[in-house]
Amino acid sequence: MILNLCSGEQMNRWMTMKNLMLEDTGTPRSDRICARFSADGRFVATGSADTSIKLFEVSKIKQMLLPEAKDGPVRPIIRTYYDHIQDTHNVRSVSFHPSGDFLLAGSMYVTASKDGAIRLWDGITANCVRSITAAHGTAEATSAIFTKDHRFILSCGKDSTIKLWEVGSGRLIKQYLGAMHTQLRCQAIFNETEEFILSIDELSNEIVIWDAITTEKVAKWPSNHVGAPRWLEHSPIESAFISCGTDRSVRFWK
């Protein structure tokens, strides 16, 4: 977890990333609200305001970054699910089962709350095993994720800060500043090696990258969404990620 200093090659990678639009339906309530990669990085699932869930094949998305294939246009969407069609609320979160066969939530989890607290829960007993109150002052905590070794939690809040916490003690380890997020429920996420942190600057509509060790900003790009993205999701196996916007578009970055 975040042990090695970033190489020049890794730094250059952030400067040369490409992105493309995967979807822009242009229909009401079709905003892509959330996205998740499968554990093997082969698929991406997105959840929408229209209650649909779409499954993309990453290898086909990568083909779209190349010149037009002779066989015609590439179609990366391989499944569309409408099991939430009777629901009155948006699909706000989607996740792959560890086996890779199902889409559902996990059992050991951390939550970010509107009251500004970060809480760690035991999925078996349903007990809160640690609470970090006022993690983002009086502002809403908008996201919280574990590091791969479960020793730390990365949180984001509407106080425009990103923070790294130690699970065992609840102690603040690092803080990442320099991006404005006060309106949307923005996220902070790691790249696949946990050497970098990605989040959104609402004011400039940019995706911002920090060095996880030094806390310094190392890159930023225009999001190419109309309005700041509402969701970021990084591949677990390679330098690629997805952004979902309020403009009803999904973008793949590689």
**Both tokens assigned to 153:** 């939690």
pLDDT > 90: percent of the chain: 31
CATH superfamily of 8-253: YVTN repeat-like/Quinoprotein amine dehydrogenase (2.130.10.10)
Of 140 and 75, the one with more pLDDT: 140
Q: Which residues contact 72 (CB under 8 A, 6 or more apart)?
A: none
Q: Are 230 and 244 in contact (CB under 8 A)?
A: yes
Element (H, E) at 15: helix 8-15
Model confidence pLDDT, tens digit, residues 36-82: 787 788 888 777 666 677 788 888 888 877 766 555 577 788 777 76
Model confidence pLDDT, tens digit, residues 159-181: 999 999 998 899 999 999 999 99
Beta bridge partners of 198: 189, 209
C-alpha 9, offset from chain centre: 23
Task: Report the alpha-carbon distance of residue 91 to residue 47 in Å, rounded.
Answer: 5
**Is the torsion defined by CA of 160, 107, 232, 185 positive or negative?**
negative
